[in-house]
Amino acid sequence: MWHRNLLRRVATTRNVSLARFRAYSTDDPNNLDRMLPTLMNLPEKPYPNMAHTFRNFIFNHFLIRPYFDPNYSSQTFGDGAKSAIEFVSNCLATGDFETLEKSDALSNDCLQELKRNLSLFSMQQRERLQVSKDDFLMSFIYQIGIMFDDDHDPGKNLRQIL
C-alpha cells in the first residue's frame, strides 16, 4: 500500500520530472547529478489517459484505416517511433547535428531549441541521452488527431500522433 502512495506522490509532484530522470541501480538515489537539464518544453505523459485510449481506438479502426491508410498499425507506428527516438538520441549524445539536419527528422525550430538547450549539458549528461530500443519498458500512443491542411493541398490530410 505504501508503494502506491509513493507512486502517486512522485507522479503528481511538479518538482520531479519523470522524463528527465534515468535511474541506475548502482547509483545513490539522492545523487542530483543524474538529473538532466530540460531539452524541450513539452508536457510529460507518464501514463495513458483512458478517454484518449478509447478515442484512439475509434480513430484507428473507424477513420484512419478505412479512409486514410489501410495499412496503418499502431504496433508498426510504435516501432518506427522507437527507432526515431534511438536515432535522434544517438545524434544528440554525440553532438552530430549535421546528420539530424540532413535527415529532416526534426523541424528547424525544434533543432535550434535542442542545440541551444544541449549547450547546458555536460559531456556525461549528453552520454546519458543515448537511448536504445531495448531501453523501453512500456510505450503507448497518448493521443491521435487528424488535421486537414486547407492552405496547401486540399486533398492532403495530416495525422498527428503523440
Degrees to nearest 5, angle at CA 86 with 132 and 54: 95
Name the helix (H) or strand (E) containing 102: helix 97-103
Amino acid at 87: F
Percent pLDDT > 70 in the chain is: 70
pLDDT at 15 over 50: no
Q: Cα(62)–Cα(38) distance, rounded to whole angstroms? A: 37
Contacts of 32 (CB under 8 A, 6+ apart): none
pLDDT at 19 over 50: no
Residue with cell 545523487: 31
Asked if residues 108 and 96 have their Cβ atoms less than 8 Å apart, the reply is: no
* Average pLDDT score over residue span 74-95: 92
Distance of CA 35 to the CA centre of its chain: 18
The pLDDT value recorded for residue 122 is 86
pLDDT tens per residue, range 94-146: 999 999 999 988 889 999 999 999 988 888 888 888 999 888 888 888 888 87
pTM: 0.68
Question: What residues contact 24, with CB distance under 8 A and at least 6 apart?
Answer: 34
Rg (CA), the chain: 19
